[in-house]
């Protein structure tokens, strides 16, 4: 009887974690195996996000699906419930780690770091992820802090190592030892706190984001009896900003950490801070989009919000506008500001590479892509997990091979047969190619936002509609890529 219960309990946990694990595998595969140059190196951040999401989802699923009460009411000791959760989590983490080791084996030469890079995130996830999720009472909050806080710890260690011991082999060894020691301590503390918290866990599910400003920072809520009317669009903007409070927290922690370290930086620290920024920029951009629509659905406020007498498309426009503006501010402006304020030339120069129109376009497209995914997801964490492989995989799986194939075909069948171009000046050719490029970007943006609105305004998330939209989007990306390739080759 007990064995059967245990098996059922483990199966339930494994079934709940399996889709997250698969999303993590898909993200790593998209980032590494498809071989695009711009995504190489992102398989590690993808692995970090995957393991953090697994750690957070272990408990976070109960909050997101509002099953916490029924879980805790089971006639099973809490110790066993938590132990089974951790066992299922460990199994999934090991599966993800095995895949990552295979990928690292293909792409990394510095084998001495492999164990650290793979094992340490597992410690964070298993030890700290469930605890942070219970503290935040939100899966997405648990996941992002499981990534962000250890990343800052790593930077701190990078700062401590060379500044105390200089950049020597001994310092490297010491740094690794420090990373292991700090991670083990962090993991042990997280496990103890997580265990204690679960034993005393109260069934307050669906409580939403539990991050609060200190009381002295909060403008006191009006205690007056009468109603205070404000401008509806101002309220919509304010509401959108409040939905993003986890993003603000992540961006603030990251910016404070990197600027603090960078102000005392050596070359190695600048590198580490730049790596964190490289993780942080796409994470923040995707997080903003992922939270924007799906969190309204998770909170259960979508229906009442849609029924306020403002057209749904106007509400959606405000939502998309706030998301894009916030992404530009936090994922583009903030790193640029931190870089500009840094005393370290290398760090400043490193971050200057981010301040480029292409990066701005990429950030906006990442946000809009994840906003579209968010419109079809039931929670922000799911939207983040689905966005990552989709966005990272679209370029290497679709755009890059199609561009190569179309260009090669055009060279072979048009240019090699005496094609003389359109007779434009170089300046006009550049303008025309730019116009095609921006036109296609605008069309893709409009399509994503239009489909997103269609998903957002209905409470039904029908599989058939999502499949049709997937086909339409894939066809659009293929068409746009063919047009762009043709424009680049023929307008020359």
In this complex, which beta carbon is closest to other proteins, that of residue 111 or of residue 224? 224
In this complex, which beta carbon is closest to other proteins, that of residue 312 or of residue 415? 312
Tokens of 272: 């580490």
Nearest to 116 by CA among 193, 176, 28, 181: 176
Interface with other proteins: number of residues (CB under 8 A) = 39
Question: Residues 344, 258: contact at Cβ < 8 Å?
Answer: no
Q: Which of 214, 307, 418, 425 binds other proteins (CB under 8 A)?
A: 307
Residues 484, 486, 487, CA angle at the centre, nearest 5°? 65
Q: Which stretch binds other proteins (CB under 8 A): 111-119, 327-335, 378-386, 456-464?
A: 456-464
In this complex, which beta carbon is closest to other proteins, that of residue 444 or of residue 458? 458
Give 52's DSSP letter.
H
Give 218's DSSP letter.
S
In this complex, which beta carbon is closest to other proteins, that of residue 233 or of residue 411? 233
Contacts to other proteins from residues 265-304, by CB under 8 A: 299-301, 303-304
In this complex, which beta carbon is closest to other proteins, that of residue 248 or of residue 419? 248
Per CB under 8 A, 464 contacts other proteins: yes
451 burial (CB, 10 Å; 0-12 / 13-18 / 19+) is buried
In this complex, which beta carbon is closest to other proteins, that of residue 33 or of residue 378? 378
Per CB under 8 A, 450 contacts other proteins: no
Q: Which of 310, 325, 399, 491 binds other proteins (CB under 8 A)?
A: 310
Per CB under 8 A, 214 contacts other proteins: no
Q: Which of 111, 227, 357, 418 binds other proteins (CB under 8 A)?
A: 227
Q: How far is the CB of 232 from other proteins (least distance, A)?
A: 5
77 burial (CB, 10 Å; 0-12 / 13-18 / 19+) is exposed
In this complex, which beta carbon is closest to other proteins, that of residue 13 or of residue 205? 205
Q: How far is the CB of 105 from other proteins (least distance, A)?
A: 43
Q: Which of 249, 306, 336, 491 binds other proteins (CB under 8 A)?
A: 306
Q: How far is the CB of 423 from other proteins (least distance, A)?
A: 49
Tokens of 96: 């993800």
Per CB under 8 A, 230 contacts other proteins: yes
In this complex, which beta carbon is closest to other proteins, that of residue 238 or of residue 356? 238
Per CB under 8 A, 208 contacts other proteins: yes
413 burial (CB, 10 Å; 0-12 / 13-18 / 19+) is exposed
Contacts to other proteins from residues 130-149, by CB under 8 A: none
In this complex, which beta carbon is closest to other proteins, that of residue 142 or of residue 396? 142
In this complex, which beta carbon is closest to other proteins, that of residue 225 or of residue 427? 225
Ramachandran angles phi, psi of 166, nearest 5°: 65, 175
Query: What is the radius of gyration, based on Cα positions, of the chain?
Result: 24
Residues 457, 462, 464, CA angle at the centre, nearest 5°? 125
Per CB under 8 A, 228 contacts other proteins: yes
Per CB under 8 A, 427 contacts other proteins: no
52 Cβ neighbours under 8 A, 6+ residues apart: 121, 124, 125, 129, 142, 143, 144, 146, 147
150 vs 180: CA distance, rounded Å: 12
Question: Residues 370, 384: contact at Cβ < 8 Å?
Answer: yes
Question: Residues 447, 473: contact at Cβ < 8 Å?
Answer: yes
Q: How far is the CB of 434 from other proteins (least distance, A)?
A: 38
Give 353's DSSP letter.
T
Per CB under 8 A, 209 contacts other proteins: yes
Nearest to 148 by CA among 17, 287, 324, 266: 287
368 vs 153: CA distance, rounded Å: 31
Contacts to other proteins from residues 177-206, by CB under 8 A: 206
- Binding mask of the shown chain, residues 50 to 69, with x at each position contacting other proteins by CB under 8 A: --------------------
7 vs 10: CA distance, rounded Å: 5
Per CB under 8 A, 75 contacts other proteins: no
In this complex, which beta carbon is closest to other proteins, that of residue 208 or of residue 339? 208
User: What CA–CA distances, in Å, run from 49 to 147, 205, 367?
Assistant: 7, 24, 17
Q: Which of 37, 231, 417, 420 binds other proteins (CB under 8 A)?
A: 231
Q: Which of 312, 398, 403, 486 binds other proteins (CB under 8 A)?
A: 312
Residue with tokens 């629509």: 293
Tokens of 422: 């359109």
The residues of the shown chain that bind other proteins, judged by CB under 8 A, are 206-209, 221-232, 235, 239, 242, 245, 299-301, 303-304, 306-312, 457-460, 462-464
């Amino acid at each position: 009887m007990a064995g059967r219960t245990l098996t059922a309990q483990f199966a339930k946990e494994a079934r709940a974690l399996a889709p997250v694990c698969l999303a993590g595998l898909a993200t790593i595969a998209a980032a590494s195996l498809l071989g695009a140059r711009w995504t190489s190196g992102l398989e590690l951040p993808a692995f970090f996000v995957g393991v953090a999401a697994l750690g957070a989802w272990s408990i976070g699923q109960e909050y997101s699906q509002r099953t916490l009460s029924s879980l805790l009411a089971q006639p099973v000791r809490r110790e066993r419930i938590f132990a089974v959760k951790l066992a299922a989590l460990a199994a999934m983490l090991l599966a993800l780690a095995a895949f990552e080791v295979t990928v690292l084996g293909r792409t990394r030469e510095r084998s001495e770091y492999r164990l650290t890079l793979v094992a340490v995130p597992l410690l964070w996830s298993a030890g700290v992820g469930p605890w942070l999720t219970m503290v935040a009472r939100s899966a997405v909050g648990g996941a992002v802090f499981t990534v962000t806080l250890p990343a800052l710890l790593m930077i701190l260690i990078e700062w401590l190592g060379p500044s105390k011991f200089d950049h020597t082999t001994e310092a490297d060894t010491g740094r690794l030892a420090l990373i292991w020691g700090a991670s083990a301590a962090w993991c042990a503390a997280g496990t103890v706190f997580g265990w204690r918290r679960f034993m005393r866990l109260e069934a307050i599910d669906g409580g939403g984001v539990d991050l609060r400003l200190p009381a002295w920072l909060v403008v006191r809520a009006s205690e007056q009896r009468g109603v205070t009317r404000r401008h509806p669009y101002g309220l919509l903007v304010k509401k959108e900003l409040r939905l993003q409070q986890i993003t603000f927290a992540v961006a603030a922690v990251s910016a404070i950490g990197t600027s603090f370290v960078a102000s005392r930086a050596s070359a190695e620290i600048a590198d580490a801070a730049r790596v964190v920024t490289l993780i942080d920029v796409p994470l923040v951009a995707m997080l903003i989009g992922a939270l924007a629509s799906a969190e309204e659905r998770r909170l259960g406020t979508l229906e009442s919000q849609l029924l306020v007498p403002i057209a749904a498309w106007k509400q959606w426009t405000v939502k998309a506008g706030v998301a894009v503006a916030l992404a530009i501010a936090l994922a583009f402006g903030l790193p640029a500001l931190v870089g500009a304020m840094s005393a370290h030339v290398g760090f400043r120069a490193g971050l200057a590479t981010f301040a480029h129109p292409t990066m701005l376009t990429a950030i906006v497209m990442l946000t809009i892509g994840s906003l579209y995914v968010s419109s079809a997801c039931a929670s922000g964490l799911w939207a983040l997990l689905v966005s990552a492989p989709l966005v990272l995989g679209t370029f290497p799986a679709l755009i890059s091979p199609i561009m190569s194939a179309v260009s090669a075909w055009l060279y072979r069948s048009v240019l090699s047969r005496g094609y003389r171009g359109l007779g434009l000046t170089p300046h006009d050719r550049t303008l025309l190619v730019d116009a095609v490029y921006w036109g296609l970007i605008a069309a893709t943006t409009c399509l994503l936002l239009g489909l997103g609105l269609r998903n957002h305004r209905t409470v039904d998330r029908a599989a058939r509609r999502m499949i049709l939209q997937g086909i339409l989007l894939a066809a659009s990306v293929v068409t746009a890529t063919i047009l762009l390739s043709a424009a680049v080759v023929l307008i020359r």
